[in-house]
Amino acid sequence: MKIDKNLRIRIIEIAIIVVLSCVLFLACNHRSSDHGNEIEITAGSENVSEVAAYTSEESKETATICVYVCGAVNSPGVVELPEGSRVEDALSLAGGFAPGAREDCINLATVLEDGQMIRFPFEGEDAETIDDYTGEERDGRVNINKASIQELMTIPGVGESRAKAIVEYRETNGAFETPEDLMKVPGIKEGIFAKMKDYVKVK
């Protein structure tokens, strides 16, 4: 059976069109696949970069604590130190021992806690005063029989005038026997004492 010449040419044209269509289809699919992979890789790279940047910033933020250094030091006051610091570090920031300080009664290797008060005693201060501020009792309460006016002012409800009244009362009448004795101080009634009671102690 002979195929008409025109028909043969038509069949060849159709075959060429089909082949070209298949080639174009495969090329488009391959390009789309490569593009998708590229986007995925790029997105992954951005996520990794963000995590690395966040970790780097986080490592720069070192936790700090604040402690109050007073007594026989050259520059008493509140100092800020990295978490895990020791009494020796706080002493250094407070200017070191002042003349007349007792240098053998505070454990300089003690690890500090946030909000702690460290009082370095002077020569001649009795053992009871020293023991109050060695850091062995870190309950945050103020010993109203030994605290200075500045230390008393850290108690809720106590300003400068009230702190002075507490000091004057104990100098005139002797040491407080119980925290409730604070209500004997002029200006401290039951309502004020209720704010103070959880922050004071006697020893």
156 and 198 inside one domain: yes
Domain range for 186 is: 140-203
Predicted confidence (pLDDT) per residue in 106-156, tens digit: 888 888 888 888 888 888 765 444 444 444 445 678 899 988 888 899 899
Q: pLDDT tens-digit profile of 54-102?
A: 555 554 467 999 999 988 899 999 999 999 999 999 999 999 999 988 8
Which are the contacts of 5, defined by CB distance < 8 A and separation ≥ 6?
A: none
Residue whose token pair is 């106590």 = 158
Q: Does position 197 have pLDDT exceeding 70, yes or no?
A: yes
pLDDT at position 51: 47
* In a domain? residue 67: yes
In this prediction, residues 168-184 reach a mean pLDDT of: 94
- Residue 34: which pLDDT band, with cuts at 50, 70 and 90? low
Residue 43 has pLDDT above 80, yes or no: no
Flag whether 115 is in a domain: yes
Instruction: Please state the domain count of the chain.
Output: 2
DSSP annotation of 157 reads T
Domain identity same for 158 and 201: yes
Is 201 a member of any domain?
A: yes
Determine the Cα–Cα distance for residues 15 and 31; give it in Å rounded to an integer.
25
Quick one: tokens of 104? 């053998």
Report the CATH number that the domain containing residue 159 is assigned in CATH. Answer: 1.10.150.320
Same structural domain, 150 and 191: yes
Q: 150-169: per-residue pLDDT in tens? A: 889 989 989 999 999 999 99
Cα 203 to Cα 166: distance, rounded to the nearest angstrom: 16
Instruction: Indicate if the alpha-carbon torsion angle 7, 11, 14, 20 is positive or negative.
Output: negative
Identity of the amino acid at 185: V
Nearest-5° Cα angle at 153, 135 to 181: 85
In-domain check, residue 95: yes
Q: Measured between alpha carbons, how far is 143 from 129 in angstroms, rounded to an integer?
A: 10
Q: What is this structure's pTM?
A: 0.39
Residue 47 has phi, psi (to 5 degrees) of -65, -45
